[in-house]
Structure 1
Amino acid sequence: MPSTDLKRNRRRLLAGGISLAAVGAGGALGWQAWRSRATQAPRVILGDGIDTPKGMAWVPGGVFLMGSDHKLAYANERPTHQVKVPGFWMDVTHVTNDQFAQFVRETGYVTTAEQVPDWETVRVQLPPGTPPPPEGVLVAGAMVFIGTDTPVRLDDYSRWWRYVPGADWRHPQGPDSSIEDKGGHPVVQVSYADAQAYAKWAGKRLPTEAEWEFAARGGLEQATYAWGDELLAEGSRQANYWDTTERPFPVVSPRAGGAASTLEAGTFPPNGYGLLDMTGNAWQWAADWYRADYFAQQAKHASGPINNPQGPNESFDPSEPGVPLNAPRRVIRGGSFLCNEDYCLSYRPSARRGSDPYSPMSHLGFRLVKT
C-alpha cells in the first residue's frame, strides 16, 4: 500500500525531536474460477450462553480463497491462495467499552496508553542509532486522529494524527474526552498487549489472520466487500467509513460536519455468519505477526489449501524508510471510520496492514474467538 497511507506509530513521536508523520496471471485465473463456484447460504448460529458462548456466532470453517487480486487490492493482499480453517466461535461485535470496563474493574488492569512508555519498546521502532529522548519526553498517552480544518494534500499524515498525552481507552481523543453514553461503542486506544490481557481474562483468544478473513467474508466467495460487490446495498451504506461525498478527508471542522468517530456496535446489518461490523468502525487486532509479503510466500510454496496458517515467525514491513524492516508489527484488519475512497480502501475483507503492538490508536480495537 502507498507510504502515504501509513500512520507512523507513537514511538517515533515520543523520541524527543522526532516529528510525527503520526502473483501474476495464475492467481487472477484462480480468482475468476473461484468466483464462479456455486455457494450455499450460511446458517446463522448464535451462542445461547448455556451450552454455547453468549455473544458469539459460530463460524463453520472450510476452504476459501484468501487475499485478493481485485483492482482495488494493495500489493500485500496479493495473490489469492487457498486456505483451510477449522470452525470456531467469534464475538458478534467488537469488544465494547462496557465490556472492557468490566474487565478493568475486576482485574485492576492498567492499559498501555496509561503507562509511561518503555524506551526499549520505543527504540525497536526507530532507525538504528536513535538516541534516547531527554528525561520527561516519554509520557503516557496515545495516537489520536485530530483531522484538519480545510482540505490538505494526503502525503503527510502528521497533519491529521497527533500523539496526545492523557489519551486512553476512557478518553479516546484526549483527557477532555470521555466514553460517557458510548458503552456500546468499540473500545479503542487498546494495544495488542491490552487485547491479549483481556482475552486471557475472558477465556478467549485473538483470531488468526486467516480466521478473521474467513469470518469477515460471511460465506461470500471473493466478494469485494463483506456484504457483496457493490459499495452500497440498495443505495444504503453497510459500514461505518468516511464518506467523501459528504466531506473531504481529513476535514473535521464544524463547517464540514464535525469530528469522525466510531458508531455503536451493530449499527449495520450482520454478515452471513451473523457477525456485525467486520469492516469499518474500528480496526481489529489479529494474532499474527505482519509480513507485507506473507501472501506471496504462502502462494509460492502451496501445493493445495494451506491448513490453518498461524502467520509468519517475524515481521517484515518495508513501508517506512530508515525503520528496521523487522520492527515488531502485528496484523490489523477491517479498516475503520477513517477509511475512504481517496486515501484508505481498507473496509474490505482482504485488506491488511501491520501496526506496532504497543501503539494504541483512536481507531483501533479488537474482537475475540473461541475454539
Structure 2
Amino acid sequence: MTAAIATAAPCAAAMPTSTRRDHVVDIPGGGTTIGTDAPVFRDDGEGPARRVTLRAFRLDACAVTNARFAAFVAATDYRTEAERFGWSFVFRDFLLPGQVAESPEATPWWCKVEGAFWHAPEGPGSSTLDRPDHPVVHVSWTDAMAFAGWAGGRLPSEAEWEHAARGGATAARFPWGDEEPTDEAGHLCNIWQGDFPLRNTLADGFAGTASVGRYPPNGYGLFDMAGNVWEWTSDPFRVRSLGMAAKARNRAATAARERVMKGGSYLCHRSHCYRYRIAARVGHSPDTSAGHTGFRLAYDA
C-alpha cells in the first residue's frame, strides 16, 4: 500500500453538520479472529487470539467530527462531562501562553486545564471553529453514549471494532497490513514522530489531531482506525487471564466501571504507547476525557 497521504477528506465532506449516514460503511458478519497470540502489553489483555462470530453491521467511515458534535449540542443543549467537571486533560505542548496547570506525577505530559472541553480543546482562548472536520475530543464514554442515542446509532463492541479495523484481512497488525510506520517516512496514520514526550519532529505535518479522512482507508473503506484519537467501544474492560495480576486488574476495572478504548492517538509512538496496533487496548472510567479521546458510531445492519 502506498505511504502517500490522501489529499481529500471524504468523511468531512459527507457529514459536515448533521447526522446523515452518507458515509457509513457496511461491515460483513461471520467468523473472525480477535486479539493476538503475540501480545506486546500482556497486562492489557491483548491476547490470546480467539474466534468469534459477528452479525453484519455498519460503521461510520470516520470518527465523529467537531461539526457533527456541534450539531448534536445545538439540537439538545447537551453539556459534556468535561464542561460539568470544569476541566479536562490537555497535552502540555498545547498549553496557551500564560496557562498554568497541574500534571499527574505518573504522566507529567498531561495538564489539568480549567475550562478545557470539546469546543475549547486547549482551554479558554481556543476554539474548534477552525477545525470542524477534525475528530471531536474531550469526549467521555458517557458523552459518546448520549450522542449515539441522539444520532440513532451505538458504540461498536470491541470485537466489531477490531473486525472492522482489519478491513477483511485475517490477522493484520495494522489497518493497512503489517508495515511498521517509521519516524522518517511512510506516514500511514497520525502518530508521534521523534522522542516522546520531548521532541515531535512533525514529520507527518501534525502536532495534534488531523482532519478525518486524511490518510488512506483500510480494506473496508474506514479511515483513521489507527492513530489520531482513541475511540470508545461499548465493552467493559476485562483481561482474559487467570493470573493473580489479571484478577487484580479486573477488580479495579470493575470498580471503576472501565470501558475499552481502541486505536491509539496522535501521541502514540512505538517507544512509548505502541497501541495503534489493532489488537491493542486500554481501559478507562466512563467519565474520562482528554485531548485525544473520541469515538465513531456503529449501526445495526
Q: TM-score range by the shorter chain?
A: 0.7 to 0.9
Distance of 1:236 and 1:257 partners within structure 2: 9
- Equivalent residue number for residue 116 of structure 2: 167
Residue 249 (structure 2) pairs with residue 318 (structure 1)? yes
Residue 64 (structure 2) pairs with residue 115 (structure 1)? no
Distance of 1:148 and 1:113 partners within structure 2: 17
SS in 2 for 1:184: coil
**What is the deviation of 1:236?**
1.8
- Equivalent residue number for residue 275 of structure 1: 222
Structure 2: tracts of 5 or more residues without a match: 1-10, 96-103
Deviations 1:291-323 (Å, cap 9, x if unpaired)? 1x23x47xxxxxxxxxxxxxxxxx976299xx6
**Structure 1 residue identity aligned to 2:91:** F
**What is the deviation of 1:65?**
1.3
Residue 70 (structure 2) pairs with residue 101 (structure 1)? yes
- Equivalent residue number for residue 120 of structure 1: none
- Confirm or deny: 8 A CA contact 1:284 1:333 kept in the other structure: yes
Distance of 1:109 and 1:81 partners within structure 2: 39
Distance of 1:343 and 1:53 partners within structure 2: 36
- Equivalent residue number for residue 145 of structure 1: 91
User: Which protein is bigger by CA-based radius of gyration?
Assistant: 1
- Equivalent residue number for residue 180 of structure 2: 231
Structure 1: tracts of 5 or more residues without a match: 1-45, 117-139, 150-154, 298-314
Q: Choose which of 210, 217, 221 in structure 1 pairs with 2:159.
A: 210
Structure 1 253/208 Cα, relative in aligned 2: closer, same or farther at 3 Å? closer
Larger mean CA deviation between 257-266 and 275-284 belongs to 257-266
SS in 1 for 2:107: helix
Distance of 1:278 and 1:336 partners within structure 2: 10
**What is the deviation of 1:326?**
2.7
Runs (4+) of structure 1 exceeding 6 A deviation are 253-259
SS in 2 for 1:159: coil
Structure 1 330/317 Cα, relative in aligned 2: closer, same or farther at 3 Å? farther
- Equivalent residue number for residue 262 of structure 1: 209
Q: Choose which of 25, 28, 48 in structure 2 pairs with 1:57.
A: 25
Distance of 2:299 and 2:178 partners within structure 1: 29
**Structure 2 residue identity aligned to 1:87:** A
**What is the deviation of 1:157?**
3.8
- Equivalent residue number for residue 107 of structure 2: 158
- Confirm or deny: 8 A CA contact 2:190 2:206 kept in the other structure: no
Identity %: 41
Q: TM-score, normalised by structure 1?
A: 0.67
Q: TM-score, normalised by structure 2?
A: 0.81
- Equivalent residue number for residue 13 of structure 1: none
Q: Choose which of 198, 221, 224 in structure 1 pairs with 2:170.
A: 221
Number of aligned positions between the proteins: 271
- Equivalent residue number for residue 132 of structure 2: 183
Structure 1 324/271 Cα, relative in aligned 2: closer, same or farther at 3 Å? closer
**What is the deviation of 1:285?**
0.4
Pairs within 5 Å for 1:79-98: 79-98=48-67
Output the aligned Cα RMSD.
3.2
Distance of 2:206 and 2:93 partners within structure 1: 8
Distance of 2:204 and 2:46 partners within structure 1: 33
**What is the deviation of 1:370?**
0.5
